[in-house]
Amino acid sequence: MKLRSFVITAAVCAFLMLSTAQAATTLQVIGRSPFYQPPLTSVDDLKKMVQTEEMDVKRGFDLTPQADLFPVFIDQVMKAEIETVAFEKGSKFEWMLYKKKGKGAVRVVKDVTWGSEKPFTGYKFYIDKDGSRYTFAVPLGCGNIAYMGMKAIPVVAVAPPVVSTPVVVQKANQPPRCNMVVTPAKTFCGEMVTIDATSSTDADGNVEKMSVAFVDNQGQVVSEKTVEGPVLRTEVAMPCGNNTLKVTVTDNDGEDGASPECTADVTGTSRVGFLADVGYSHQFDPGHYLFGRIGLEYKLTEDWSLLGLVGGAAQVDGLDGESAFLIDALAEYKWSRYYVDFGVGGWITDGDDDNPAENSQLDLILGLGARVYGEPDAFNTSLFVEVRSATDELDEIGDYGRFGFGVRFRF
pLDDT of res. 167: 63
pLDDT of res. 9: 36
Q: What is the band of 83 on the pLDDT scale with cuts at 50, 70, 90?
A: very high
406 shares a domain with 281: yes
Domain extent for 81: 21-152
219 shares a domain with 340: no
Q: In whole angstroms, give the CA distance from residue 316 to residue 290.
A: 7
Taking CA atoms, 375 is separated from 201, 371, 381, in Å, by: 39, 8, 9
Q: 221 phi and psi, to 5 degrees? A: -75, 120
The answer to whether position 97 is within a domain reads yes
Q: How many domains does the chain have?
A: 3
**Kindly report the CA angle at 249 between 243 and 255, in degrees rounded to 5?**
130
54 shares a domain with 148: yes
Q: In whole angstroms, give the CA distance from residue 157 to residue 123.
A: 28
DSSP letter assigned to residue 206: -
Give yes or no for residue 166 having a pLDDT over 80.
no
Q: In whole angstroms, give the CA distance from residue 145 to residue 149.
A: 13
Which of 235, 269, 303 is a domain's end point?
269
Give yes or no for residue 86 having a pLDDT over 50.
yes
pLDDT of res. 254: 84
246 shares a domain with 222: yes
Q: Percent of the chain beyond pLDDT 90?
A: 69
Q: In whole angstroms, give the CA distance from residue 324 to residue 261.
A: 58
Domain CATH for 334 = 2.40.160.20
DSSP code string of 131-183: TEEEEEEEETTT---EEEEEEEPPPPPPPPP---------PPPPPPBP--EEE
User: pTM for the whole thing?
Assistant: 0.52
What residues pair up with 73 in beta bridges, in sequence order? none
397 shares a domain with 328: yes
Contact between residue 226 and residue 209 where contact means Cβ atoms under 8 Å apart: yes
Query: How big is the chain by its Cα radius of gyration, in Å?
Result: 29
